[in-house]
Copies of this chain bind each other. A is one copy, B any other.
């Protein structure tokens, strides 16, 4: 573990608990067990971290793209998509809460825009394989369907994060799946 990633890990832990604005460099370096000066040896600024995390998040989607590119029947692919997005919820809820706040905050939006410069292409790839998926599933407007799916997954994620204990995640997963794979009772 380089000192660098030690600090990054600490930062993610702290941000997950107290948010970006609510966390200070002192909080982070205390959590990492290093001096504040060392933080500035590795990173340009506090905002710098946000860009790094935004990039990291975008990279998270690489395996999703590869999974959707694979030569598999669309039913398998849609199940893969749903599982990919919703399975990380249970293990990484603090981190995901942080990422969700990032999307909504001005700080985050700025960071994401900077990060996007390098990842625009990748993002378009993702959208493209999603469209391919819904086209293969027989939808007449695969782009809209991809957007709808993304929104629904986002909503389920968000509602889960608001109260993980009470949320019927598995049932929601199944409910969503039956919309695309006709093997269950939809009512």
Contacts and interface: CB of A to CB of B under 8 A. Distances in A.
Interface string A71-105: 00000000000000000000000000100110111
Interface residues on A, range: 35 or more
Contacts of A144: 168, 171-172, 175
A6 interface: no
A150 interface: yes
Given A100-B104, A105-B101, A147 B161 contact: no
A59 interface: no
Contact of A106 (B19, B167, B171, B185): B19
Given A101-B101, A104-B97, A158 B151 contact: yes
Contacts of A152: 151-152, 155-156
A42 interface: no
Contacts of A3: none
A187 B148 contact: no
Contacts of A105: 19, 22, 101
Contacts of A151: 152, 155-156, 158-159, 172
A184 B159 CA distance: 28
A150 to B, nearest CB: 6
Interface string A131-144: 00000001110001
A127 to B, nearest CB: 12
10 contacts: A17-B106, A19-B106, A22-B105, A22-B106, A148-B172, A151-B159, A151-B172, A154-B158, A155-B158, A179-B179
